[in-house]
């Protein structure tokens, strides 16, 4: 259950980085796609394997 929460948080943070206009996050905007990809893949596999 904790893994699902962490994966969802990573996905949400990646989306936040992609959409934010805050100049403080300008350096981290390059990492947005990595957070989105890792979060989405982790979330999918954790939901599929959840028992």
- What would the mean pLDDT of 4-33 be, rounded to a whole number? 87
Which of the two residues, 24 and 9, has the higher pLDDT score?
A: 9
Rounded distance between C-alpha atoms, residue 4 and residue 33, angstroms: 19
pLDDT score of 42 more than 80? yes
| Whole-structure pTM value | 0.79
CB 13 within 8 A of CB 24: no
| Ranges of each domain in the chain | 1-49
- What would the mean pLDDT of 12-38 be, rounded to a whole number? 86
Nearest-10 crossing angle of helices 32-48, 2-19: 150
pLDDT score of 51 more than 70? no
- What would the mean pLDDT of 37-49 be, rounded to a whole number? 91
């Amino acid at each position: 259950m904790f893994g699902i929460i962490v994966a969802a948080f990573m996905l949400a943070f990646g989306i936040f980085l992609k959409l934010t206009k805050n100049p403080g996050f300008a350096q981290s905007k390059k990492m947005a796609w990595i957070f989105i990809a890792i979060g989405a893949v982790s979330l999918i596999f954790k939901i599929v394997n959840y028992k």
